[in-house]
Structure 1
Amino acid sequence: MPGIDTAPGAAHPRGTLLEQLAGRIARMTFADIDARGRTVARTAFADTLGVALAGSRSEAVRLVQAAAVCSTPAGSLILGTAGRADALDAGLLNGIASHALDFDDGNLTLVGHPSTILVPAVLALGEETDATLREAATAYAAGYEVLIRLARSVNTAHYVKGWHPTSTLGVVGAAAAAAHLLRLDAARTAVALAIALSSAAGIKANFGTMTKPLHIGQAVRNGLLAARLAAAGFTANPEALDTVQGFLNVYNGAGAYDTQAITLGLDSPPLLNNEVNPIKAYACCHSTHGAIEAAREIRELDGFRIGDIERITVIVDEKRIPHTDRPVLAEALAGKFSLQYVVARMLLTGSVDLADFEGDAHRDPAVLSLMEHIEVAPAPPRREKNSFGAVVRVKHADGAVLTAVRDPERDGSGTEIDPPRLWAKFTDCAEQVLPSDTVGDLRALLQDFPGPGTVRGLMKLAEVHGGDAR
């Protein structure tokens, strides 16, 4: 039932919600992950590592590294370099890098990006603990379990309220993955999750700025820290999730969450075996992808005339609008969250590329002119509570109207667990930083993931040496 279903201080026959989650995490093994789940994990690690390598060149990473990180001779790899740092700092920087381009995978239940949190956390701590790749996959599955179960409880109310679920829930997922790598028992794992809940942060008001990927880096770092503290004997309230002043009530409010969704089927196989994390075709907010694809379809229709447009209407789920209705852009990054900008780009050029969100691209006179003709409107209520579909309607000056409808979740592009474009995307991203022969070796190892080998071996291949940087 929604809201509070356990009175403060009341007995929990199976333990508190956190204790039940912790028990599931502590029991999880690699054998629990079936062939499909392993494919989901392989896709997640390959896609995230690729976009993080490309994102390691971002200004956001450079600024945070200069302001807050001291490299060390040993430790975990800072992607985009051959330098290393403590796992907390490596997780911070690599988390920022993985989300800097907004090119990482998504999940409809989370309404966010699970792998941008979990993969950097697992890789940073996995180097420190000398984890095998199978242990890395299992830790990913453990963190994923927590992320999705919490998301089922609080979304979409949590998302609509203005929280950034990738970071607010992600910090707890990172703590779960880290606790599994540290082999914490259920009691210590519950403490790690409770500590992480006090670091939950991230508001959607900062979308379209460097602070959005900073959310991710902070969540990764704080999740790792929570697990380390729990391992050291730190204390926290095992009721921190569902007590009166706990996370669910503070962040969502009474009646705006469902505690049963957290524990339903908790003894079943890992959720990783059944969920889908669509990988992105465009380096911008997933909420804009349906509109981009619809614009692409219109551009290819007979009768489309770019110089004769009177009005363009973009219709999306009302939940997409608060963070994507941006007719004016303050910086290039803001274009990643502007339906007007990405639709104008696609109609004008037939593509939406990385370069479209860099430098002064957002000041392109032709794009700005076309954006003035674009309006964004909410779709009529639908049975689906959280649609990513879009309708784009182009009206020409002579009255002719062209319409296209695209829904990534319905047309198949959002339901593939090992999409053909994955390895081409990985290669394109990784080769921005690494030489092609190194990328080939790294790709081969990832294509066998989670096979023999260690996280250290994987990250050794990802090192950028003096002459390698592109």
Structure 2
Amino acid sequence: MNISEQVASFIVNTEMEKISPEAVSMAKNAILDCVGVTVAGSADETGRIITGLVKDLGGQPAAGVIGGGFWTSPPLAALANGTMAHALDYDDVNHTMTGHPSVPLVPAVFALGEDLKSSGEMITLAYIIGFEVETKVGAGVNINHYQKGWHATATLGTLGAAAAASKLLGLDVVKTRMALGIAASAAAGIRQNFGTMTKPYHAGQAAKNGVLAAMLAQRGFTADANILEAPLGFCNLFTENGSYNLDKITAHLGDPLDILKPGVVIKQYPSCAGTHRALDGMLALVKEYGIEGKEVEKVQIKTISLIPKILIHTRPRTGLEGKFSMQYCMSAAILDKKVGLQSFTDPMVNRSEIQELVKKVDMITYTQAEEGEIGGLREDLPEIVTVKLKSGKELKKEVKNPKGSPQDPLSKEQLMDKFIDCVNLVLPSRRGEQAAEFINKLEKLSNISELMKILV
């Protein structure tokens, strides 16, 4: 059995009785978090633009647009909800994928599941399967895939969304392989667009294309059956000089599930995950020493070599660029003593005192010898935040795991606080509480439409 067939067989043959209660619990936490940031994203300009377009496009009213107050076709709903889910860059992260696992998946399974009247148990199962496919393919192609410039949330997320949608539709192995083949040709997203509205569009596009791929395959649409391992297939074309490992895709497929190991990072800041360890460190120093901006001579962040390639905006001028700027995030932490949703607006980024402070922030990286063969993915190397004051005093903080990581997870209360803060931006508080109640018992829900009525 070849790689693509093994992956398709895993999708088709995995049932809920094979999924541990721990995996179900983690999936529900991730889905809750994703729904919350989607609702908040609907109020963002990115969300308003994509929602307005989708509404104008029409479509058979079968799937709800979260926060939009209308229904459309499943692919278009997936596009809108996926874009809104990633609009604030407040959504979860998985290190195997080197991306955001939930934003292609939740919009896909909610949109198609609502049309199919799927149970919450099927939604949960499809989500876990999609998560496993996008992350295990990620294990096979990363880190080269990401370093080459591909946005893994978009590329791997399209495969994950197709896998989840195929499960919801009950496709057999042959048609599931077709869905993966179609999805592979639709997978795209380039990292140069980080810090623009197109980055969240990548997630919406992945969700939409995954749904479309499965729907086409259900109708008999064809694609190459061996799309992962073929010479001109996904793994070879999306990496450089054959730097992929097919065995890593299937060696641990389903055991352990990636949603449990390495797990999910649930963000506590609405910025690129590459800023979070440094933010934890800087905010700790600010709290401990009462640092003021006028006291700062220089800030230095020592980090892994991948981070400067992600945080490409050293002199940001927009809120979106600020999310991908170590310089801005450190400056905001010093001046505002906190970093939250209100931090990433154009006026906040363009404050004169911020623009002066960003010039004093620099990144240095570990050497190639320190990082070893796996380079920029050395998660055991701590991030070191150093603040040199004009008085000559030097303050330092090392952070290995950010708050929200599997090693230092958010408590259920903290997760709920984040969810309620997000949904209260758009929905009446009682509806937010009702949505949380439904998601917390998702596997018991008879029809996902019950939840969507609250969210739309």
TM-score normalised by the shorter chain: which range applies?
over 0.9
Matched residue SS, 1:147: helix
Equivalence for 1:362? 349
Equivalence for 1:437? 430
Alignment of 1:56 onto 2:42? yes
Q: Is the 8 A contact 1:40 1:418 kept in 2?
A: no
Deviation at 1:281, TM superposition (A): 0.3
Rounded to whole Å, the distance in 1 between the matches of 2:418 and 2:21 is 23
Deviation at 1:268, TM superposition (A): 4.0
Change (3 A) 1:266 1:447: closer
Alignment of 1:42 onto 2:35? no
Alignment of 1:421 onto 2:427? no
- Which residue identity is paired with 2:78? G
- Which residue identity is paired with 2:454? L
What TM-score, normalized to structure 2? 0.94
Matched residue SS, 1:105: coil
Matched residue SS, 1:450: helix
Q: Is the 8 A contact 1:310 1:395 kept in 2?
A: yes
Equivalence for 2:134? 147
What TM-score, normalized to structure 1? 0.91
Rounded to whole Å, the distance in 2 between the matches of 1:417 and 1:153 is 29
- Which residue identity is paired with 1:139? A
Matched residue SS, 2:442: coil
Q: CA RMSD in A?
A: 1.9
Deviations 1:168-217 (A, max 9, x none): 11000000000000000111001100110001101110000000001111
Rounded to whole Å, the distance in 2 between the matches of 1:411 and 1:200 is 29
Change (3 A) 1:219 1:412: closer
Q: Is the 8 A contact 1:39 1:418 kept in 2?
A: no
Deviation at 1:453, TM superposition (A): 2.8
Deviation at 1:265, TM superposition (A): 3.2
Match of 1:333 among 320, 326, 336: 320
Q: Which moved more, 1:22-31 or 1:296-305?
A: 296-305
Q: Is the 8 A contact 1:117 1:166 kept in 2?
A: yes
Rounded to whole Å, the distance in 1 between the matches of 2:310 and 2:224 is 34
Match of 1:134 among 121, 124, 136: 121
Match of 1:218 among 205, 222, 237: 205
Equivalence for 2:311? 324
Q: Which moved more, 1:119-128 or 1:396-405?
A: 396-405
Change (3 A) 1:123 1:368: same
Deviation at 1:220, TM superposition (A): 0.6
Rounded to whole Å, the distance in 1 between the matches of 2:407 and 2:313 is 24
Matched residue SS, 2:147: helix
Q: Which moved more, 1:268-277 or 1:30-39?
A: 268-277
Deviations 1:278-301 (A, max 9, x none): 110000000000111111121123
Q: Is the 8 A contact 1:72 1:83 kept in 2?
A: no
Change (3 A) 1:275 1:396: closer
Equivalence for 1:265? 252
Alignment of 1:101 onto 2:94? no
Q: Which moved more, 1:278-287 or 1:407-416?
A: 407-416
Match of 1:394 among 387, 399, 402: 387
Alignment of 1:447 onto 2:440? yes
Rounded to whole Å, the distance in 1 between the matches of 2:304 and 2:255 is 33
Rounded to whole Å, the distance in 1 between the matches of 2:61 and 2:111 is 12
Rounded to whole Å, the distance in 2 between the matches of 1:457 and 1:340 is 44
Equivalence for 1:4? none
Rounded to whole Å, the distance in 2 between the matches of 1:413 and 1:175 is 27
Q: Which moved more, 1:354-363 or 1:281-290?
A: 354-363
Change (3 A) 1:56 1:267: closer
Q: Is the 8 A contact 2:88 2:270 kept in 1?
A: yes
- Which residue identity is paired with 2:271? C
Identity, % of aligned positions: 33
Change (3 A) 1:180 1:254: same
Matched residue SS, 1:402: strand
Which residues of structure 1 form unaligned runs of 5+?
A: 1-13, 464-470
Alignment of 1:246 onto 2:239? no
- Which residue identity is paired with 1:24? F
Change (3 A) 1:447 1:267: closer
Matched residue SS, 1:315: strand
Deviation at 1:270, TM superposition (A): 4.2
Rounded to whole Å, the distance in 2 between the matches of 1:37 and 1:267 is 11
- Which residue identity is paired with 2:307? R
Rounded to whole Å, the distance in 2 between the matches of 1:194 and 1:418 is 39
Equivalence for 1:163? 150
Deviation at 1:81, TM superposition (A): 2.1
Deviation at 1:226, TM superposition (A): 0.3
Which residues of structure 2 form unaligned runs of 5+?
A: none
Alignment of 1:458 onto 2:455? no
Equivalence for 2:400? 407
Change (3 A) 1:420 1:132: same
Change (3 A) 1:414 1:325: farther
Match of 2:331 among 344, 350, 353: 344
- Which residue identity is paired with 1:59? E
Equivalence for 1:382? 371
Aligned residues: 449
